């Protein structure tokens, strides 16, 4: 079964060791500079802190501010597989860090990504790139297997800073198995825009940084510009 076939069967697919250390290190080091507030190119509106902490939880739209992040989004090892899944031309919608710092990293409520996004149709996917080994202990992302087939599900305000939407409890999702994606640094998980996922708090001593790129398939159009945060620029990758 091909990677694309597994993606469409389960709604996600793990790509173990997609990037080696030499490939991941420059972008990982730059993420660290963002997290340590050593760079001034990320505007405050694109930064979210962990509740009650000075540690960063999220940094959004990084490819719009630092060319390194845009360049890495076009890495052929990744875009080659994303093209097989979504087709081409491929455009980049988003880039963000889910930092999940040691001890204070907060949980991400169960959600689909699509309710956040002003596009149609649903041909978008996220590439979650592990910058640390990601384990159950430090709050790896968990995917409801096959949930992308359930269509758009009801969401409501979550009260979680950085993740404003959470899914309304839904029996059809509860009935599905959940896969905890324990992956090593440099590995990637691709998930569909309708795949239900979540992560638990990081109570461990190990950080769990994830860099996420969102890719748009060829048919995707902006249908609700008022809901777009940032410019309506979606670079080809
Ligand atoms: O990194 C996490 O814990 C959550 C990731 C997520 O929600 C996403 O990539 O859409």
Domain of residue 153, CATH code: 2.60.120.620
Evaluate whether residue 61 is within a structural domain.
yes
230 — pLDDT class (breaks 50, 70, 90): confident
- Report CA(24)–ligand 1 centroid distance (Å): 19
Domains: count for the chain: 1
Residue 230 lies in a domain: no
CB-based contact 188:129 (threshold 8 Å)? yes
**pLDDT tens digits for 122-176?**
999 999 999 999 999 999 999 999 999 999 998 888 878 788 888 988 999 999 9
Q: Cα(1) to centroid of ligand 1, in Å?
A: 26
Asked if residue 194 is part of any domain, the answer here is yes
In terms of residue numbers, what domain contains 186?
Answer: 3-219
Q: 58 is written with which tokens? A: 């999220």
Does residue 14 belong to any structural domain of this protein?
Answer: yes
Burial status of residue 138 (CB atoms within 10 A of its CB: 0-12, 13-18, 19 or more): buried
Non-local CB neighbours of 81 within 8 Å, separated by 6+ positions: 3, 4, 15, 190
Measured CA to CA, the distance from residue 160 to residue 168 in angstroms comes to 14
- Residue minimizing CA distance to atom 10 of ligand 1: 113
Residue nearest ligand 1's atom 3 by CA: 199
pLDDT tens-digit readout, 80-108: 999 999 999 999 999 999 999 999 999 99
Query: Cα(217) to centroid of ligand 1, in Å?
Result: 20
Spatial distance between the Cα atoms of 130 and 114, rounded to a whole number of angstroms: 22
The model carries a pTM of 0.98
Report d(CA 33, CA 234) in Å as an integer: 25
CA 100 to ligand 1: nearest atom? 3
> Within a domain: residue 90?
yes
| Number of the ligand 1 atom closest to the C-alpha atom of 210 | 1
H or E element in which residue 122 lies: none
Give a yes or no: residue 81 inside a domain.
yes
CA distance 19 to 84: 18
111 within some domain: yes
Task: Answer with the residue of higher pLDDT: 163 or 77.
Answer: 77
Q: Which residues line ligand 1 (CB under 6 A)?
A: 98, 100, 108, 113, 126, 128, 141, 197, 199, 210, 212
Nearest to 35 by CA among 21, 17, 53: 53
Q: How far is the CA of 98 from the centre of ligand 1 (A)?
A: 6
Residues 6+ away with beta carbon under 8 Å from 176: 144, 145, 146, 147, 196
Closest CA to 143 of 10, 5, 9: 10
In a domain, 231, yes or no: no
């Amino acid at each position: 079964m091909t990677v694309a076939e597994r993606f469409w069967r389960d709604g996600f697919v793990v790509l173990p060791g997609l990037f080696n250390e030499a490939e991941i290190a420059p972008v990982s080091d730059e993420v660290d500079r963002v997290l340590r507030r050593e760079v001034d190119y990320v505007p405050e509106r694109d930064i979210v802190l962990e509740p009650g902490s000075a540690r960063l939880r999220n940094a959004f739209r990084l490819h719009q501010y630092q060319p390194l992040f845009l360049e890495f989004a076009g890495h052929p090892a990744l875009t080659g597989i994303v093209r097989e899944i979504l087709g081409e031309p491929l455009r980049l919608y988003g880039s963000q860090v889910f930092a999940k710092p040691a001890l204070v990293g907060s949980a991400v409520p169960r959600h689909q990504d699509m309710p956040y996004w002003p596009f149609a149709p649903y041909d978008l996917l996220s590439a979650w790139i592990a910058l640390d080994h990601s384990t159950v202990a430090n709050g790896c992302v968990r995917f409801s297997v096959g949930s992308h087939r359930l269509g758009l599900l009801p969401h409501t305000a979550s009260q979680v800073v950085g993740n404003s939407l959470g899914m309304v409890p839904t029996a059809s999702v509860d009935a599905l198995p959940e896969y905890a994606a324990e992956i090593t640094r440099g590995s990637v998980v691709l998930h569909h825009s309708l795949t239900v996922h979540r992560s638990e708090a990081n109570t461990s001593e190990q950080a769990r940084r994830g860099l996420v790129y969102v890719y748009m398939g060829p048919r995707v159009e902006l249908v609700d510009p008022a809901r777009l945060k940032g410019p309506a620029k979606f670079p080809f990758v």
